[in-house]
Amino acid sequence: MESLAQQFLDHLEWLVSRRWFGDKARPVTDLSVDIADFVMCGKVPVILAIVRCEFEWGPASAYFVPILATPGPLPERDATANPAFLEWLVSGFAHEREVGGRWRWRRIGDDFPETEGLDYSRAKAIASEQSNTSIVFDSAFIGKVFRKVQPGLNPDLEIAEHIMRGGTFHHVPELYGVIELWQDGARTDILAVQQFVANIGDGWSWMLHELAQPERRDALVHDVALLGTRTAEMHLALSADLGDDAFAPETVGCDQAEAIIQRVIAEMEGSVEGLSHVLGPERVERLHKGLGAMMGDAWSMVGTALIRVHGDYHLGQTLRTQHDDFAIIDFEGEPSRSMDERRQKLPALKDVAGMLRSLDYAAATLTQQYPEQKQELADWVETASDAFVAAYRQAITATTVPLVPTDDAAFASVLNLMIAEKALYETRYEMNNRPDWLGIPLGALLRLVGIEEG
């Protein structure tokens, strides 16, 4: 293990530069290999490695990094690009393989896809994937490798199983099987095999392409309304009573409303104070007061339900299908949060706010390319957002569970609070990562509290 750890240390720059390495902002101070299980994948030797990194600050992180046990530089030995290793991973589901007493293959349901004759050399990683490594197997199914090792139920798979058991919502990929790592009685999901949804692109790329064509914008409003309907149907499926306490809706009381207020305040304190150099002290003070006045809006959700939500909902978490519809993917929640945090029950309007912010980002992205269309795109966002919300509200009534406030004013108050929380998060992110994009979420915050932009 020491020699393997040294190899990773020697190629630390390669490791940190991987798209799935989620701790790029923290300098690595030490590295160790917690697990290094040797397996033969046909004639190809592979090491199933769990690599632990220590940092200058914050907790350690562990990553699943399977590598070929062959000569050569480490960066050339990533096993997820090797057909023999991929075939070994998939073949284990036939008899639910177990390796070393801790790696376990588990089939889900009776519809595992046929793999005989599958050409594993044609398997291809999805380039846009970031926190995971997703591999398409000849358009038959997708294998999603969860790189960051976080013990606990993975909401991406937990939610997929819940929706499958409910059997009423068919706009998510079907889950076929999971590879689990068991350590000290705790489970970590390492790989999921899911249905491949034929599509023409993710929702973000598709939206930018369509929105760039002025003649398509009226029809695009109807597509956005359909997405609002699908979002409501997703929430109905997530709140269905299937006898699982992890998904049973909970009624918002005073304590829950206060907790939501405190969460938004924490986001506000972490975001607004750094804006003085952009807005000036006087406007920052007005923004702070305006947002503070919105905190009372949380009381409008008392009596409604908290449910399991998508948690990281935006256009990039959807697929535009070949049948002019949408599929919803990636129920992991925000990758920076712990598994327990991602499994918390929240207002359904958190997801609605996330998608509305994504629409705003799409229009703002186009505005940067076509500044002369700024007003037209702003008008389109307003129209499309209204259509999304109207379709959502109409579809969400198909339940006796009060998922959202029925009163128009209360609905708007809670939605605006969720939009503020999301825009505050975006503001902090853009300040730290993409300062040139700061104007997008900042503009949303200023509009929410009635402060002129500019």
Predicted pLDDT at 171:
97
Predicted pLDDT at 432:
77
Predicted pLDDT at 139:
82
- The answer on 150 and 31 residing in a single domain is yes
**What's the token pair of residue 100?**
């070393």
- Which amino acid is located at 304 in the chain? T
**For the residues 196-221, what does the mean pLDDT come to?**
96
- The answer on 179 and 217 residing in a single domain is no
What tens digit of pLDDT does each residue of 349-398 get? 999 999 999 999 999 999 999 999 999 999 999 999 999 999 999 999 98
What tens digit of pLDDT does each residue of 55-89 get? 999 999 999 999 999 998 888 999 999 999 999 99
**For the residues 177-203, what does the mean pLDDT come to?**
95
Q: How many CB atoms lie within 10 A of CB 190?
A: 22
CA distance 82 to 42: 12
Predicted pLDDT at 361:
97
Q: Is the pLDDT of residue 231 over 80?
A: yes
Predicted pLDDT at 129:
64
Higher pLDDT, 9 or 392: 392
- The answer on 263 and 128 residing in a single domain is no
Predicted pLDDT at 131:
82
- The answer on 414 and 301 residing in a single domain is yes
At 16, is the pLDDT very low, low, confident or very high (cuts 50, 70, 90)?
Answer: very high
- The answer on 253 and 175 residing in a single domain is no
**For the residues 284-289, what does the mean pLDDT come to?**
92
- The answer on 179 and 157 residing in a single domain is yes
- Which amino acid is located at 184 in the chain? D
As a dihedral over the C-alpha atoms of residue 250, residue 242, residue 105, residue 69, rounded to 10 degrees, the angle is: -30
- The answer on 232 and 97 residing in a single domain is no
418 touches 350 (CB < 8 A): yes
Length of the chain: 454
Mean per-residue pLDDT of the chain:
93
Quick check: is 325 in a domain?
yes
- The answer on 191 and 242 residing in a single domain is no
Quick check: is 181 in a domain?
yes
- The answer on 410 and 296 residing in a single domain is yes
Q: Which domain holds residue 116?
A: 2-195
Predicted pLDDT at 5:
86
- The answer on 423 and 341 residing in a single domain is yes
Question: Which among 195, 227, 242 is the end of a domain?
Answer: 195
Percentage of the chain with pLDDT > 70?
Answer: 99
Q: Is the pLDDT of residue 128 over 80?
A: no
Quick check: is 356 in a domain?
yes
Q: Is the pLDDT of residue 202 over 90?
A: yes
Q: Is the pLDDT of residue 2 over 70?
A: no
**For the residues 280-303, what does the mean pLDDT come to?**
91
- Which amino acid is located at 317 in the chain? Q
Phi/psi class of residue 226: alpha, beta or left (left: φ > 0; alpha: ψ in -120 to 50)? alpha
Q: Which CATH number is 268's domain given?
A: 3.90.1200.10
CA distance 207 to 320: 9
How many structural domains does the chain have?
2
Quick check: is 453 in a domain?
no
**For the residues 173-184, what does the mean pLDDT come to?**
96
- The enclosing H or E element of 142 equals strand 141-146
Question: Which among 168, 195, 222 is the end of a domain?
Answer: 195
At 3, is the pLDDT very low, low, confident or very high (cuts 50, 70, 90)?
Answer: confident
Question: Which among 149, 179, 195 is the end of a domain?
Answer: 195
At 28, is the pLDDT very low, low, confident or very high (cuts 50, 70, 90)?
Answer: very high
Quick check: is 395 in a domain?
yes
410 touches 420 (CB < 8 A): no
**For the residues 172-182, what does the mean pLDDT come to?**
97
At 454, is the pLDDT very low, low, confident or very high (cuts 50, 70, 90)?
Answer: low
Q: Is the dihedral of CA 23, 28, 32, 36 positive or negative?
A: positive
What tens digit of pLDDT does each residue of 323-344 get? 999 999 999 988 777 888 899 9
Quick check: is 438 in a domain?
yes
- The enclosing H or E element of 62 equals strand 61-64
Quick check: is 396 in a domain?
yes
417, burial (CB in 10 Å: exposed 0-12, middle 13-18, buried 19+): buried
- The answer on 275 and 259 residing in a single domain is yes
234 touches 226 (CB < 8 A): no
Quick check: is 422 in a domain?
yes
Residue 386 pairs in a beta bridge with none
Higher pLDDT, 236 or 432: 236
- The answer on 234 and 142 residing in a single domain is no
Phi (first) and psi of residue 324, to 5 degrees = 60, 40
